[in-house]
Structure 1
Amino acid sequence: MTQTSSDPKSSRWMLPNPLTRAWLSLLVLSTASALLTILPLSSPVLSAGILILALSKARIILERYLDLTHSPAWLSGFTNVLTGFAMVIFGLSLF
């Protein structure tokens, strides 16, 4: 059994609550998508990267902010619809 110290300097760093982690994840993904645009990539690769990051952000919003972690059927349904929509957008971006 591990004991924690009463000294705040030696105690473990605690992770923030799930909403704060979701917000930080969204911030990181938004920064990544902004940085992706300055890289010298071909148009299809850039489109795919931005859409993948957007899908990741949508999934975080669905899970944490809309609290669909407790309803996996709805989460899966929304994810499938958004993935299909992203695939259509990617297909249109190739033309």
Structure 2
Amino acid sequence: MNIVVIVVIVAIVVAIAVVLWKRRADQKAEALRNQAQEHRDDARASQIAATRQETEANALAAKAKADLVKAEEQRNAAAVKREVASDLNVHADNIDPDVPNTSP
């Protein structure tokens, strides 16, 4: 009878130990799941921030390109105005009686 009681007590202790071990393993697994989810959330936030930063960089690049085109157009317009001014000076010199005419 004493052996049966000891076996029953040992079985109960082993069962309690197995339940506690399983419970601890489940808690650890849940903690790891939570940590993994936090990492995924952080990764998602970083991805969103990177996309926003890339979009801003693309917008700046587009603006810079547009500014470059505008500057080139202004340079061309200035060159045309210089040419017109030069032509007007030549014409003025040609019709001014006080300017000696060097053309044959």
TM-score normalised by the chain length of structure 2: 0.26
Higher Cα Rg: structure 1 or 2?
2
Greater RCO, 1 or 2 (C-alpha within 8 Å, sep 6+): 1
TM-score (norm 1): 0.28
